[in-house]
A and B are shown apart, each in its own frame.
Chain A
Amino acid sequence: MLNFKINLNEIDKIGKFSKEEKDFRLKNLNYFNNVGFPNKKQEDWKFSDLREIVSKNFSKLNIKSSEQEKSKINFIKDFEHNYIVVINGRLTVSDFRFEENDKIKLKSFTNNDFADRKENNPLINLNHALSDKGFFLEIEENYKFKKILVIYNLFTNDLNEIILNSKNKIKIGKNSELHTLNLIINQSEKNFFNNVYENVVLEKAAILKNICVQNNKSSGYFHKYSKHELSNASNLTTFIFPSGLKFNKLDLEFNLNGENCECNLQSASFLNKIDHQEIKTRVNHNSPNCKSYQKVKNVLDSESKGIYQGKIFVKDVAQKTDAYQLSKAILLSERSEFDSKPELEIYADDVKCSHGSSSGSLDKDSIYYLMTRGLSENESVELLVNGFLSEVIESIKSDSMKNFLKKKLADQLNGYKKN
């Protein structure tokens, strides 16, 4: 097996750091080198053996990333929007033409937190050690965005056997509201690894609606750890629409720290070929009267593998918690696989917590019904799959956004027909 130990000198190549920062980076790199890429012996990686996946597909991993900073972007024309452009993890251009610019702070991310925390995930250590890019977006108090903010995440075509490490932070002030669309555009057809650490902070009564869409299928290997902190009465909604990557793991942590806050996560994905996708969530109910809702839908074709690991944790003080979790999967091929581990860990008694998980094939009668109406078998399957996944899109309020997403979904399913 390949040795993916990373030379300690690499840190000096990234940049010049204070002693404190360098120590922090060294400590984390040492930790990563000791443990290596996680494998299925680690509980959180039971269903995704990253070590095997990486050693099968990469012969080396370069740290030095491409310097390409300009690239052609097809901006979305369907609706008016503000935008940020991030190329290979690095913040390049931004445009807030519809907003009051003094309410918004945007800069490249610099890490000031060198506290030594025990991280269970070696990829977080790797990120701590090597991250050298990313953005920090802060919205002042009492400001509501007028138009949606689109974050274009572009990966250029010269990425090859490279690992990108970036850190992003989004902070939304008291009573403010932001809607974002995270669009991932991948131009590289070679293997590369993208490792993101994200921190989202919602202050009192802040609202964040976030939609994450992958523009096209690609051969990238993505890992994103995202930590969300919610204060009193704040509200977070996240929609995730991946379109399939060689490897994609989203490790999402939601901390409901204030009372009366609400968190909502929904995802719909259509996977085929050898896509490997895992959504792992951990919702920590740390305060009373909070609500959380999770719905994850997967359709799996060819040799794809879908995984959902969701955990609801309810602290003893978090009475009147209402937590719900649902994962549904349709398997279209004999070689596809769906694994799930919906977990509940509850220490408060006056709560309503439930989860459901189901997986199976499409209903034969439904296909038959559609075929008697003149559709071909492929068309029937496509229609049913579309209906199954559209349910998630339907719960988005904005019509223009809904149409945009439906178009994306239709594009994906179109690919199914050709196969």
Chain B
Amino acid sequence: MKNQDLQNNQEYKYGFTTDIENIKAPKGLSEETIHFISKIKKEPKWMLDWRLKAFNRLKKLKEPNWQKPKFPKINYQDLYYYSAPKSMKDKPKSLDEIDPKLIETYKKLGIPLNEQKKLSGVAVDAVFDSVSVATTFKDELTKKGIIFCPISEAIQKHPELVKKYLGSVIPITDHYFATLNSAVFTDGSFVYIPPNIKCPMELSTYFRINASETGQFERTLIIADKGSYVSYLEGCTAPMRDENQLHAANVELVALDDAEIKYSTVQNWYPGDKNGVGGIYNFVTKRGACRGKNSKISWTQVETGSAITWKYPSCILQGDNSVGEFYSIAITNNHQKADTGTKMIHLGKNTKSKIISKGISAGKADNTYRGLVDIGRKALNSRNYTQCDSLLMGNKCGAHTIPYIRNKNSSSTIEHEATTSKINEDQLFYCNQRGLNQEEAVSLIVNGFCKDVLQQLPMEFAVEAQKLVGISLEGSVG
């Protein structure tokens, strides 16, 4: 990238807000709020009951406090749990009916909402604040029997699927933030791939928090039926605000026999300014269940944004011969904090898992890898390989590795490796010698360091992610 471009990009480029009239739920967390959300979504009674059950459970739960990054107490009564663009109240039938301002926002974000962008071959579901605003390529997907729609629509149109799978991977009795999400989730994407269908294009969701004092609680449910395949992308941005905003999403994946789900995330929520003011609290629960034989779930994440990232995309390997993968890059700069990693729970025979994690911290940031590999007594002949590398830039940041490794049978093998170091002076010198300036050199070396993970991303995302890696570290060396 040219120097000029770098300068232009230095600030968080997604930090604009869009002036759109919003409908908000009454402030605060109460049964009333949940009734409000459920009513506005025209949900059936079973869904409301489900939410209330979660809410009752929530009253008994406490926020977890074992994480590395500490944060001031969140006042859950001071948040809006539902915020939607007013013009969305009666859902638009086609893209033409969408508020042009919204379209403009997505243009700024570079999201291919327009069908004209067919060539890019990505079907998009865009979630603005709490509501899914548009889903593209619906017809083509419907022909194949694939369901890709906002989850609120799925609750109405495909209640049998939602009832069967919602909460089956992340039960409503899970930890605090997951339960909170179950009670107040507003929208998100729903994907169902019928048996033996390979989804012909990448499915993608863009999340954006716009309104202030709003929490975003979306819920994604992806079901890959026998022998199917789907690749799903997720991107997120938010405007710059000096308050902390909460984002507590739940993502559930279910892979049946011989199915494969590939889930990629480029997370670029607003990270707060240089002094650590503002930014998103990204407390997300992502979990996938390899229910069937020979199923596979692969998580890839590039985490560059958020003031605090706290999430562990996990795989429960139930089916025999199932495979779980986790590829992660977490970059923290300034005052950002990340506590992320994965859980691989081996239950079936011959299950395999692989974890590659790259953490980079600069400025005054803290970056923690925390992971669990648990091979159960009956998971014979299972295999895990874990590699987590950390790179430190400057002496005010921290890099931590906290793996939990449990092996409960003798036919399984676990390997774990971790290293922590700084950028090699010789490599920097070599790059400088070839005419690269300090920042370009760092960007190049870091991209090389992350290569194993970047390779896993779908093409369009890989390019964006590479740029992000460079931008996120600007000003951290020299």
| Secondary structure call for the A interface | strand
In the complex, identify which listed stretch (B94-102, B244-252, B406-414, B439-447) lies at the interface while the others stay far away: B406-414
Residues of A close to B405: CB separation below 8 A = 339-342, 357, 359
CA distance A381 to B402 in the complex (A): 33
Asked if A331 and B407 sit within 8 Å, CB to CB, the answer is: yes
Residues of B close to A344: CB separation below 8 A = 390, 399-402, 418, 420
Whether A6 sits at the interface, judged by CB under 8 Å, is no
Beyond A334-B409, A334-B410, whether A343 also contacts B394 by CB under 8 A is no
Q: Mark A342-362, 1 if CB is under 8 A from B, else 0.
A: 111111111111111111110
Asked if A348 and B395 sit within 8 Å, CB to CB, the answer is: yes
Question: Smallest CB–CB gap between A193 and chain B, Å?
Answer: 26
CA distance A316 to B364 in the complex (A): 12
| Secondary structure call for the B interface | strand
Asked if B407 and A355 sit within 8 Å, CB to CB, the answer is: no
Among B395, B396, B419, residue most surrounded by chain A Cβ atoms (within 10 Å): B395
Whether B90 sits at the interface, judged by CB under 8 Å, is no
Asked if A336 and B410 sit within 8 Å, CB to CB, the answer is: yes
When the two chains form the complex, which single residue of A43, A332, A337, A356 contacts B418, counting CB atoms closer than 8 Å? A356
Asked if A346 and B402 sit within 8 Å, CB to CB, the answer is: no
Question: Smallest CB–CB gap between A347 and chain B, Å?
Answer: 5
When the two chains form the complex, which single residue of A46, A316, A337, A341 contacts B408, counting CB atoms closer than 8 Å? A337
Question: Smallest CB–CB gap between B264 and chain A, Å?
Answer: 27
CA distance A319 to B411 in the complex (A): 41
CA distance A319 to B415 in the complex (A): 29
Asked if A357 and B414 sit within 8 Å, CB to CB, the answer is: yes
Which residue of the partner chain B has the closest CB to A349?
Answer: B392
When the two chains form the complex, which single residue of B394, B402, B403, B407 contacts A338, counting CB atoms closer than 8 Å? B407
Whether B66 sits at the interface, judged by CB under 8 Å, is yes
Whether A329 sits at the interface, judged by CB under 8 Å, is yes
Whether A403 sits at the interface, judged by CB under 8 Å, is no
Asked if B407 and A329 sit within 8 Å, CB to CB, the answer is: yes
Asked if A350 and B422 sit within 8 Å, CB to CB, the answer is: yes
Q: Mark A41-66, 1 if CB is under 8 A from B, else 0.
A: 00100110000000000000000000
Asked if A358 and B415 sit within 8 Å, CB to CB, the answer is: yes
Residues of A close to B397: CB separation below 8 A = 347, 349
Asked if A351 and B420 sit within 8 Å, CB to CB, the answer is: yes
CA distance A47 to B412 in the complex (A): 19
Residues of A close to B416: CB separation below 8 A = 340, 342, 355-358
Whether B3 sits at the interface, judged by CB under 8 Å, is no
CA distance A345 to B404 in the complex (A): 15
Asked if A356 and B417 sit within 8 Å, CB to CB, the answer is: yes
Beyond A43-B66, A344-B418, whether A361 also contacts B402 by CB under 8 A is no
Which residue of the partner chain A has the closest CB to B423?
Answer: A349
CA distance A335 to B417 in the complex (A): 25
Whether B421 sits at the interface, judged by CB under 8 Å, is yes
Whether A333 sits at the interface, judged by CB under 8 Å, is yes
CA distance A39 to B401 in the complex (A): 24
Asked if A345 and B403 sit within 8 Å, CB to CB, the answer is: no
Q: How large is the interface on B (under 10, 10 to 19, 20 to 34, 35 or more residues)?
A: 20 to 34
When the two chains form the complex, which single residue of B66, B395, B409, B420 contacts A353, counting CB atoms closer than 8 Å? B420
Whether B377 sits at the interface, judged by CB under 8 Å, is yes
Asked if B412 and A351 sit within 8 Å, CB to CB, the answer is: no
When the two chains form the complex, which single residue of B398, B407, B410, B418 contacts A342, counting CB atoms closer than 8 Å? B418
Whether B131 sits at the interface, judged by CB under 8 Å, is no
CA distance A346 to B360 in the complex (A): 12
Asked if B398 and A347 sit within 8 Å, CB to CB, the answer is: yes
Residues of B close to A332: CB separation below 8 A = 410
Residues of B close to A347: CB separation below 8 A = 395, 397-398
Which residue of the partner chain A has the closest CB to B375?
Answer: A359
Asked if B400 and A343 sit within 8 Å, CB to CB, the answer is: yes
Residues of B close to A360: CB separation below 8 A = 407, 410, 412-414
Beyond A339-B406, A343-B402, A359-B413, whether A354 also contacts B419 by CB under 8 A is yes
Asked if A333 and B418 sit within 8 Å, CB to CB, the answer is: no
Asked if A354 and B417 sit within 8 Å, CB to CB, the answer is: yes
Whether B37 sits at the interface, judged by CB under 8 Å, is no
Which residue of the partner chain A has the closest CB to B394?
Answer: A349
Residues of B close to A355: CB separation below 8 A = 401, 416-418
Asked if A361 and B410 sit within 8 Å, CB to CB, the answer is: yes
Whether B330 sits at the interface, judged by CB under 8 Å, is no
Whether B393 sits at the interface, judged by CB under 8 Å, is yes
Q: Which residues of chain B from 408 to 463 have any CB-CB distance to chain A below 8 Å in the complex? A: 408-422
Asked if A331 and B66 sit within 8 Å, CB to CB, the answer is: no
Question: Smallest CB–CB gap between A117 and chain B, Å?
Answer: 22
Residues of A close to B421: CB separation below 8 A = 351-353
Question: Smallest CB–CB gap between B375 and chain A, Å?
Answer: 9
Residues of B close to A350: CB separation below 8 A = 395, 422
Q: Which residues of chain A from 135 to 156 have any CB-CB distance to chain B below 8 Å in the complex? A: none
CA distance A243 to B401 in the complex (A): 31
Asked if A349 and B395 sit within 8 Å, CB to CB, the answer is: yes
Asked if A346 and B395 sit within 8 Å, CB to CB, the answer is: no
Residues of B close to A353: CB separation below 8 A = 419-421
Which residue of the partner chain A has the closest CB to B381?
Answer: A361
Residues of A close to B411: CB separation below 8 A = 334, 361
Question: Smallest CB–CB gap between B343 and chain A, Å?
Answer: 14
Among A337, A349, A352, A353, residue most surrounded by chain B Cβ atoms (within 10 Å): A349
Question: Smallest CB–CB gap between B30 and chain A, Å?
Answer: 31
Question: Smallest CB–CB gap between B414 and chain A, Å?
Answer: 5
Beyond A353-B419, A354-B419, A359-B405, whether A316 also contacts B396 by CB under 8 A is yes
Q: Mark A308-346, 1 if CB is under 8 A from B, else 0.
A: 000000001001000000000101111111111111111
CA distance A346 to B419 in the complex (A): 11
Residues of A close to B417: CB separation below 8 A = 354-356
Which residue of the partner chain B has the closest CB to A344?
Answer: B401
CA distance A271 to B400 in the complex (A): 31
A-B contact pairs, 22 of them (CB 8 A): A334-B410, A337-B406, A339-B407, A340-B416, A341-B404, A342-B418, A343-B403, A345-B400, A346-B400, A346-B420, A348-B392, A351-B392, A352-B421, A354-B419, A354-B420, A356-B415, A357-B405, A358-B414, A359-B407, A359-B414, A361-B412, A361-B413
Q: Which residues of B contact A (CB under 8 A)?
A: 66, 377, 390, 392-422
Other than the given A346-B392, A352-B420, 8 more pairs (CB < 8 A) read A319-B395, A339-B405, A340-B403, A343-B403, A345-B398, A349-B392, A353-B420, A360-B412
